[in-house]
């Protein structure tokens, strides 16, 4: 049933019930709502309204003598139409910004510290999916001979991020040979994504003569130049924040859940789209209970948002039980994602 088909009384009772359940984790009875919330309704009237909401599937009764709790579709209606986003406090914004500050920080360090800050403030589990260099567009390639048997390759992608790899070469080459090859590679490869280059480089360099020893570094998939470029990097922190949650009182269930989140292949399928890229839809994405694909996450919700550095996209998320403080977490995740985008963009220009 659509939100518009609920009358104002049903909407208010549902909102009050979910707000109270999120705060207490206790099934909510009609008398609690009548006492705590000034609705001008008797417990009997609220009880009848709750029965209607249960018949529509928005709430359920765990036990005959117990109060009601929200269902997944109840939470969905609450998130989409009822909750009022909360503004982050000055100290919360400061903590998130401080986790991103500091000159010379690597992308990995920025993502790791921002994930920890988000998990600590939210008191849930924080996850960050790092940007994949495979999706970045090459704007410049540099070659530097470091020693007789080592060369430095610097791949600069659109937005200013760079990937540096030291490769072993068969023998030292004159500087003019290095410069010539650098020019050829830039001419043939710039404007392509690293993924496109990795998949088609043999074909693209097939007609390039000379410099065979150096060309082998780029064409040979075992050379190490492309190693890890297509990997999805994760930061998962805050498992300890779930220990006090009543939903994870069963430690076996918590262990199974954490093991699932340690499995990067499973996480990729859950948080990354089928083509291996982070979903780049604007705003905050909320997946509730059965909306998650992994069976270990059917009692959990995921609040996530994308961050961007040029054409490269990553995702930051909070994961916890479906009984989470959505009104605060939506604002928190959105602010953190925007802050990461700004921080990484600034660091790529420095």
- pLDDT value at residue 280: 45
- pLDDT(258) > 80: no
Can you give the residue ranges of every domain in the chain?
A: 3-82, 90-132+232-349, 134-219
Mean pLDDT of the region 304-312: 80
- pLDDT tens-digit profile of 94-119? 999 888 876 456 677 888 888 999 99
Place 182 in a pLDDT band, splitting at 50, 70 and 90. confident
- pLDDT value at residue 90: 94
Report which of residues 116 and 194 the model is more confident about. 116
User: Helix 194-204 crosses helix 212-219 at what angle (to 10 degrees)?
Assistant: 140
CATH number of the domain located at residue range(s) 134-219 in this protein: 3.30.390.60
Tokens representing 238 are 């805050």
What CATH class has 90-132+232-349? Answer: alpha beta
Mean pLDDT of the region 264-290: 66
Report which of residues 10 and 254 the model is more confident about. 10
- pLDDT value at residue 337: 92
Report which of residues 12 and 201 the model is more confident about. 12
- pLDDT(332) > 90: yes
Q: Tell me the CB-side half-sphere exposure of residue 157, using CA atoms within 13 A.
A: 22
DSSP letter string, 293-337: SSGGGTTEEEEEEEEEETTEEEEEEEEEESSS-HHHHHHHHHHHH
Mean pLDDT of the region 233-255: 82
- pLDDT value at residue 53: 95
- pLDDT value at residue 223: 60
- pLDDT(318) > 90: yes
Neighbours of 222 (CB within 10 A): 8
- pLDDT value at residue 346: 63
Place 220 in a pLDDT band, splitting at 50, 70 and 90. low
Burial (CB count within 10 angstroms: exposed 0-12, middle 13-18, buried 19+), residue 252: exposed
Instruction: Give residue for tokens 């109060």.
Output: 67
- pLDDT tens-digit profile of 114-131? 899 999 999 999 988 877
Measured over the CA atoms of residue 79, residue 340, residue 121 and residue 241, the dihedral's sign is positive
Report which of residues 309 and 181 the model is more confident about. 181
- pLDDT value at residue 27: 93
Place 215 in a pLDDT band, splitting at 50, 70 and 90. low
- pLDDT(282) > 90: no
Chain centre to alpha carbon of residue 327: 18
CATH number of the domain located at residue range(s) 3-82 in this protein: 1.10.10.10
Place 213 in a pLDDT band, splitting at 50, 70 and 90. low
pTM of the model: 0.77
* Angular region, 61: left φ>0, alpha ψ -120 to 50, beta rest: beta
- pLDDT(244) > 90: no
Percent of the chain with pLDDT over 90: 34
Cα dihedral 8, 10, 15, 20 in deg (nearest 10)? 140
Report which of residues 132 and 43 the model is more confident about. 43
Report which of residues 341 and 265 the model is more confident about. 341
Percent of the chain with pLDDT over 70: 79
Composition of the chain by helix, strand, coil, percent to 5: 50, 20, 30
- pLDDT value at residue 141: 85
Mean pLDDT of the region 61-74: 88
Least confident of 49-58, 266-275, 278-287: 266-275
- pLDDT(160) > 70: no
- pLDDT value at residue 277: 44
């Amino acid at each position: 049933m659509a939100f518009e088909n609920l009358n104002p009384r049903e909407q208010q009772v549902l909102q009050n019930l979910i707000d109270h359940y999120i705060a207490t984790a206790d099934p909510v009875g009609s008398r609690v709502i009548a006492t705590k919330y000034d609705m001008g309704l008797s417990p009997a009237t609220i009880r009848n309204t709750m029965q209607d909401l249960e018949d529509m599937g928005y709430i359920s009764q765990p036990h005959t003598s117990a109060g009601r709790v929200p269902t997944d579709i109840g939470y969905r209606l609450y998130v989409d139409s009822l909750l009022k986003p909360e503004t982050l406090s000055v100290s919360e914004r400061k903590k998130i910004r401080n986790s991103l500050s500091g000159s010379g920080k690597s992308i990995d360090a920025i993502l790791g510290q921002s994930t920890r800050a988000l998990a600590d403030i939210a008191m849930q589990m924080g996850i960050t999916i790092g940007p994949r260099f495979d999706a970045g567009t090459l704007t410049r390639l540099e070659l530097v001979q470091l020693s007789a048997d080592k060369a430095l390759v610097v791949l600069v992608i659109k937005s200013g991020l760079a990937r540096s790899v030291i490769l072993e070469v068969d023998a030292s080459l004159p500087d003019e040979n290095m410069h010539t090859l650098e020019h050829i590679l830039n001419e043939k490869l710039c404007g392509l994504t690293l993924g496109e280059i990795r998949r088609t480089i043999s074909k693209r360099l097939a007609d390039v003569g000379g410099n065979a020893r150096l060309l082998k570094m780029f064409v040979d998939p075992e050379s190490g130049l492309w190693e890890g470029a297509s990997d999805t990097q994760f930061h998962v922190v805050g498992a300890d924040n779930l220990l006090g949650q009543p939903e994870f009182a069963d430690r076996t269930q918590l262990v199974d859940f954490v093991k699932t989140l340690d499995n990067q292949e499973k996480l990729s399928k859950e948080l990354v789209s089928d083509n291996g890229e982070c979903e780049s839809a604007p705003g905050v994405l909320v997946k509730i209970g059965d909306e998650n694909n992994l069976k270990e996450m059917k009692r959990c919700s995921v609040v996530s948002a994308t961050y961007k550095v040029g054409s490269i996209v990553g995702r930051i998320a909070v994961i916890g039980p479906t009984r989470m403080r959505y009104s605060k977490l939506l604002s928190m995740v959105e602010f953190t994602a925007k802050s990461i985008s700004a921080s990484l963009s600034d660091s790529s220009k420095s």
